[in-house]
Amino acid sequence: MDVADAGPVEDAVAAARRAFPGWSTTPAADRQARLRALRQVVLDRAEEIVATVRAETGRHPADIAVAEVLHAAAHLDWLARHTAGALAGRRTTVWPLVHKRTEVHARPRGVAAVLAPWNYPFLLALLPATTALAAGCTVVLKPSEHTPDAARLLERLVTEAGFPPDALRVVPGGAEVGELLVTADVDVVSVTGSAATGRRVAALAADRLTPVVAELGGTDAMIVLADADLRRAARAAAWGACFNAGQSCVSIERLYVVAAVHDRFLAELERAFDELTVGGGGRRDIGPMVLPATLATVQQQVRDAVAAGAQLHRGGRRVRVGSRDHLEPTLLSAVRQGSDLVQQETFGPVLPVLSVPDEETAVRLANDSAYGLQASVWTADRARGRSLAGRLRVGAVAINDCLVNYAAPGLPFGGRGASGTGRQGGVEGLRAYCFTQTLTDSRLRPRRELQWFPRIGGAGTWIRVARLLYGRPRRAPRAPSGPAAQRP
């Protein structure tokens, strides 16, 4: 799209702007009713959602049903039950303004621009779009140019659920359309994508100081301690690294295992990877790589790691099935911490394993990343796991599980560093599409306030007032005791 082709974006934003006053003043309870209706429409049209996403991505139907339909219904269900309570205004009393009535309200920001990715094209369009709608915003959605049909389907389902016209508009196109949308007359931007995309969006949004909610992926670490259930952990690692062929922001992308159980655990991983298949469509099939460019990048990361001394245990080869490319589930050990396979997001079914002498080293290496989205800790000692989790610089940690945090719509989701800013999901996710407005009203209405002109007293008067309101009596210092007290 050229600059001259900005018309569709401007038209969509203008339509959403016109729809905003009516939708933003719709009571939260009524917005919840529309969300309930959309939840039912999603369930009624589940087969169509699966078919649409499958046609665009080639993914396994069961995976689409789990990740796109089930999760979408869960998110809508949470919004339909909790939006009103999460956004309800609250009254408060603030010292020393006890003679004032004060209230704090969450007001919808306005028009939300949503930039959605291709790896979960229905779900990752629905999550931010419906959260913004629940908050009272209207939405202009730009899907990935690789998967526009899923977004168009969402637009039709929103209309079918009874949302007002132009509450959600879709503008398809490539990166240039996204840039036009971010710099248009929008009030908040949500972007899900790579760190490079997030930086570009933030730079464009900065000109108008438009707030950005960015979920930008990660290099999520898994830490396996010596007392962990190795068989369960290995099965989880195979699933967490290879679900949707590893094309998930929360995939397990590096695994640190203490040396005492490294060899035993690696053998369990080999057995778990041997059970996986590509291209067969069976219950253990991991599905295809959606984009050829992504496959090429992942294969290069694997080749570089092997050239630097990593050992390839399983996979690594491209498999062509029909019109789709697959990458065999790939397991490596003796991978260097500084390799791209560890430091960069690897969007494929690849699991690098690193042996560490102890948990302290595991924590240090897990934190040695520009990203900080999620992690998992595996141990039989729950208290130990929680303590270790608290030291990881990531947005979410699962103990003896993986990827589960994202499946709970009531929890905030997001990371730190190159993994993005802000949070999706839960109360925090809803309020990301609102601004806070504070109201004060006087209980008493004297002819004038004490601090108004003309001033009452000088600086000394107001210093005494400050000390009266906020001062604390000082305690006399304790007299020294012990041998030190006898020194001259």
Catalytic residues: 215, 249
Residue 413, classed as helix, strand or coil, is strand
Whole-angstrom distance, CA of residue 155 vs CA of residue 25 = 22
Looking only at the bridges linking them, the beta strands covering 350-356 and 188-192 are: unpaired
Whole-angstrom distance, CA of residue 116 vs CA of residue 114 = 6
Residue 68 identity (one-letter amino acid): E
Whole-angstrom distance, CA of residue 213 vs CA of residue 78 = 20
Q: Which phi and psi (to 5°) does residue 229 adopt?
A: -75, 100
Token pair of 387, please?
Answer: 């303590």
Closest Cα partner for 42 from 78, 75, 82, 81? Answer: 75
Token pair of 26, please?
Answer: 């719709």
Whole-angstrom distance, CA of residue 316 vs CA of residue 303 = 9
Whole-angstrom distance, CA of residue 148 vs CA of residue 142 = 8
Whole-angstrom distance, CA of residue 53 vs CA of residue 41 = 17
Q: From residue 410, give the alpha-carbon distance in Å to each of 130, 189, 338, 430.
A: 14, 21, 36, 10
Token pair of 107, please?
Answer: 């007001």
| H/E run at residue 39 | helix 28-44
| H/E run at residue 154 | helix 148-160
Token pair of 287, please?
Answer: 């599905």
Closest Cα partner for 365 from 399, 383, 386, 392? Answer: 392
Location of structure tokens 């949707």 = 244
Cβ neighbourhood burial of 70 (10 Å; 0-12, 13-18, 19+): middle
Beta-strand runs (E) in 212-291: 212-215, 220-224, 252-258
Residue 465 identity (one-letter amino acid): V
Residue 377, classed as helix, strand or coil, is strand
Whole-angstrom distance, CA of residue 385 vs CA of residue 248 = 24
94 contacts 74 by C-beta, under 8 angstroms:
no
Closest Cα partner for 388 from 419, 415, 416, 365? Answer: 365
Residue 214, classed as helix, strand or coil, is strand
Whole-angstrom distance, CA of residue 124 vs CA of residue 103 = 34
